[in-house]
Amino acid sequence: MAKSLGNYPRLSRRGNRTFPSLLEIRNLQLEFRSEEQSVRAVDGVSLAIGQGETLGLVGESGSGKSVTALSIGRLLRTPPAFYAGGEILLEGRDVLKASNRELQELRGRVVSYIFQEPGASLNPVMRVGAQIKESLTLHRPQAATDAEVVRLLKLVGMPAPETRAKSYPHEMSGGMQQRVMMAMALAAEPKLLVADEPTTALDVTIQAQILALLKEARQRLGMSLLLITHNLGIVGQMADRVAVMYAGQIVETAPARELLRRPLHPYTRALMNAAPRLGGAGGRLANIPGSVPRPGAMPSGCRFHPRCAMARPDCSVNKPELAAVENGRQVRCPYWNCP
């Protein structure tokens, strides 16, 4: 029988390799508070990323995956955000207790970010070379040179890097802007790169280029990667392990290959069946009825039960725990093993 997880393991595994933990989130509780109400966006999330490991964090809009990721560098404004509980250990130090000075040291050197809309993250009135140099000045002042800027632009596959360093963001395509964002993030030589839907706004051939680049940078720099995506195909290409979130909670974690081969949670199964596959069979897609619940209006019992094809009467009453079920796998459903 499955047993509830008291302590999250300190080591994470990939195949038969183990990685010392770089990031460990334990029982994170995140709320958004206003005068009228308090809404819990993240409810008891625990996850770990080892050195050099890639974790795919999957979920639909409103699942809490982006705010969980933003919490690692404490990038959410407080208020309205409020950390109601839990720890975020980055290299063993709790980010939630860090002083502003300590945060400055963690941001960039330990954790860097790239986002979905590179155009919205770049300064429109500053040449991209200067923006990369600014990142160098902040995090690796001894390397803040034009030559290093060009080296970084080359690293991210920018054609004609010397000329491109003098361009403004609006003179570039989305794919080029995302390369600049990557150069800025890599300038700090982070140990963990958080990539939040980094290719969602890009065309598929450009997406393939950026994913190849991320793989190469990860290998060359021995970096860990937290890759947030709604695309299970990208998880299959990139991730060692995967965590699936639904309505503020993790519902399943597993080694990526095993999850894609045999998803255990009814939500993961439904999500995989709902995504059309290239060259797949025709006919109707298996859709999930209804929509993702809004934070503040969570269903009783299991949060997925109103949309679950396998729900039983007690699913609307009992709140399932995330339980270890097999080698390296956890599922938040007591009936995962039932036909």
Return residues touching another protein (CB under 8 A).
60-61, 159, 173-176, 203-209, 211-212, 230-237, 257, 260, 270-272, 274-280, 282, 284-289, 291-292, 307
Specify the DSSP class assigned to residue 162. Answer: H
Of the two residues 61 and 99, which places its CB atom closer to another protein in the complex? Answer: 61
Longest dimension (CA), the chain: 65
CA distance 40 to 317: 19
Q: Rg of the Cα trace of the chain?
A: 21
Amino acid at the residue 52: G
Report the relative pairing of strands 249-255 and 241-246 from DSSP bridges.
antiparallel
Cβ 110 to another protein, closest distance in Å? 28
Of 232 and 250, nearer to another protein (C-beta) is: 232
* Neighbouring residues of 140: CB distance < 8 A, sequence distance ≥ 6: 187, 188, 189
Output the smallest distance, CB 67 to another protein, in A: 17
Nearer residue to another protein within complex by CB, 63 or 135: 63
Nearer to another protein, 20 or 159 (CB): 159
For Cα atoms 243, 52, 135, give the angle at the middle one, nearest 5 degrees.
100
Shortest Å distance, C-beta 208 to another protein? 4
Q: Minimum CB separation from another protein for residue 38, in Å?
A: 22
Least distance in Å: CB of 280 to another protein?
A: 7
Lookup result for tokens 């999250």: 8
Q: Which residues, including other chains, have CB under 8 Å from residue 116's CB and lie 6 or more apart? A: 196, 197, 198, 200, 201
332 is written with which tokens?
């938040």
Cα distance between residue 66 and residue 311, in whole Å: 28
Task: Tally Cβ neighbours within 10 Å of residue 207.
Answer: 18
Among 261, 279, 263, 283, smallest CA distance to 271 is for 263
Task: Report the residue number, 92 or 280, with the smaller CB distance to another protein.
Answer: 280
Minimum CB–partner distance for residue 262 and another protein (Å): 12
CB of 261 to another protein, least distance (A): 8
- Whether the Cβ atoms of residue 98 and residue 87 lie closer than 8 Å to each other: no
Number of other residues whose CB lies within 10 A of the CB of residue 62: 18
User: Between residues 97 and 262, which has the closer beta carbon with respect to another protein?
Assistant: 262
Q: Which is nearer to another protein, 76 or 206 (CB)?
A: 206
Q: How far is the CB of 203 from another protein (least distance, A)?
A: 4
Q: Are strands 54-58 and 241-246 parallel, antiparallel or unpaired?
A: parallel
Identify which of residues 10 and 294 has a Cβ nearer to another protein in the complex.
294
